[in-house]
Amino acid sequence: MLFENISLGIAEGERLGLIGPNGAGKSTLLKILAGQIEPDSGAVSMRRNTRVGYVPQEAEFDAGHTATDVIAEAIAGEHLDDMERAARINQTLGRAGFTDGSVRTESLSGGWKRRLAIARELALLPDLLFLDEPTNHLDFEGILWLEKLLAGAAFASVVVSHDRYFLDNVVNDMAEIDRVYPEGLFRVEGGYSQFLEKKEMFLLAQSTHQEALANRVRREVEWLRRGPKARTGKSKARIDNAGRLIRELSDLDQRTMKGVTQIDFTATDRQSKRLLSVEKVSKELGGRTLFRDLSFTLAPGTRLGLLGLNGTGKTTLLRLISGEMEADEGRVERAQALRIVYFDQAREQLDRSQTLRHGLGARGDLVMFQDRPIHVAGWAKRFLFDAGQLDRPIASLSGGEQARVLIARLMLQPADLLLLDEPTNDLDIPTLEVLEESLLDFPGALVLVTHDRYLLDRVSTVVLGLDGLGGAQMFADYRQWEQTEQVRDSQKVEKKEASRPGAAPVKRKLSYLETREWEQMEARILEAEVALDAIRAEMQAPEVVSDGPRLQACYKRLQPAEAEVHALYARWAELEAKQQ
């Protein structure tokens, strides 16, 4: 059983972050709340006429369809005239960053498919939106887009995510599903940072209670061993109470018994000061120069983070380093007999038809780790698998479990250099924390591609930013790269404005974020007015006018909708004034 007796309420305007270890049932709970599947027991109640949206982990679209087709199908049941329908489609795609609605879904990258899946639900103007790992496959620009969308949305949302910065920036309520809690769920008002503080306080109090309970049980067990006879009511009551305390302690011990993945990448004994040099390397792909005259050196202890939007050449550079691809110009020099371990984001190293036993690298019943034989059942337990799963096919495992299998295989290979391409996808937060510690302890060099900003900040000693147009630049950390990108985007906006025919030179006084907000304001106002008109039309419908409760519910929605339109117009005027 994944969970039982879970109780959860979502209020208007609430943005709830839902976390928990892999296998705890987060995705299952989200599907139950969204009405995708039925619970074994209990009930999910929604306020009448609540519109619910659900974005699953993997986006699926019909082959041959365009982005416009996807949104059009989503709103096919809406009562809209042709002009309203076209406006809704264009607004929705524009809001998600699409500039061409005719693009076919099969040509989209994973990040743009994720945007389209979110846009498909936004088109229905939900009151409550459920999102399962929405930052997977999104690049940094996509993550920032989603953060801004959810943080400023009028609808409520529930997000399952392992992206700690994302949770801190978006949610105003946090909940963790885990058997360690008496009710199976621990909920805190605030972002992820506040949640961690309250969680630590709770677990400390629970640990103190557990220790005190264990002492009481020890005393009662000693008393029972002396053979008390239950002849008096007082003795019988104490025996019954001792039994209750023992059962309570047993339940508490079982709940707090935590399994944590043990990650320890094996390093060689190489003493070389220089492991790999990239010298004036250039690479073109699909008619576009990804990077030009790129040079850097990797030494033991170097932890290089690769930054850039999707398609800027991060994975291509990893393949050049590993030797899978050749550079168009320049050269990659590797130390003699350099041992490289490569974590592929597509996890193509895994044969999903194999059993877990073979996937973990077992030969017979043994695994060789750091020249020591380990029974495969013990090796599996190290990655939170039990012996009963060893003969299951890898294809039947969850994404997080498959990631742990690949990590287990790679740990068997001694390495001088680790190449990690999106290793964090599908991993839960406890496993991410262990992975961070393992990478910090690894004495060799590593190159890390990840959209997990927390991991990148904590692990990288230096970052390399790629712009996908031939440019590459070293930065101290993610924040410095982000600030540089913001300045570049702002300069692009100013250049675009200045190049408009007949446009007078404008001295902008808006910040980067204000400029982005100003550019999107007209579309946001139009969308808010369409939503307001829809509520007004609903209130005038005969079936609503004659239904007191429905009319009252419409009125409650009308007031915030009107307030949003007024607020948007006021903000637009404020931004316009700043540019005068």
Q: Which CATH number fits domain 15-196: 3.90.1300.10, 3.40.50.300, 3.40.50.10320, 3.30.365.10?
A: 3.40.50.300
String of DSSP letters for 86-116: HHHHHHHHHHTT-S-TT-BGGGS-HHHHHHH
The angle at the Cα of 241, spanning 236 to 245, to the nearest 5 degrees, equals 150
Domain covering 512-578 in this structure, CATH number: 1.10.287
String of DSSP letters for 427-491: --HHHHHHHHHHHHH--SEEEEE-S-HHHHHHH-SEEEEE-SSB-EEEESSHHHHHHHHHHHHHH
Residues 167-174: contacts with CB under 8 Å, at least 24 apart: 167/17, 167/19, 167/191, 167/192, 168/192, 168/193, 170/15, 170/17, 170/146, 171/15, 171/16, 171/17, 172/14, 172/15, 173/14, 173/15, 173/16, 173/17, 174/16, 174/17, 174/19
Q: Work out the widest C-alpha separation in the chain, in whole angstroms.
A: 103
All residues at 6 or more sequence positions from 520 whose CB lies less than 8 Å from its CB, including other chains = 95
pLDDT given for residue 493 in this prediction: 58
In this predicted model, what pLDDT tens digit does every residue of 293-350 receive, in sequence order?
Answer: 999 999 999 999 999 888 889 999 999 999 999 999 999 999 998 999 998 887 888 8
Structure tokens at 577: 């004034």
All residues at 6 or more sequence positions from 332 whose CB lies less than 8 Å from its CB, including other chains = 276, 277, 278, 279, 281, 320, 321, 323
All residues at 6 or more sequence positions from 81 whose CB lies less than 8 Å from its CB, including other chains = none
Rounded (10°) angle between helices 82-95 and 110-122 = 140
Q: Is the dihedral of CA 473, 475, 478, 481 positive or negative?
A: negative
SS3 539: helix
The CATH class that applies to domain 262-339+414-497 reads alpha beta
pLDDT given for residue 498 in this prediction: 58
Intervals of the chain under pLDDT 50? 505-507
Supply the Cα-derived Rg of the chain in whole angstroms: 28
Beta strands in 214-275 (DSSP E): none
pLDDT given for residue 506 in this prediction: 46
pLDDT given for residue 253 in this prediction: 64
Whole-prediction pTM: 0.70
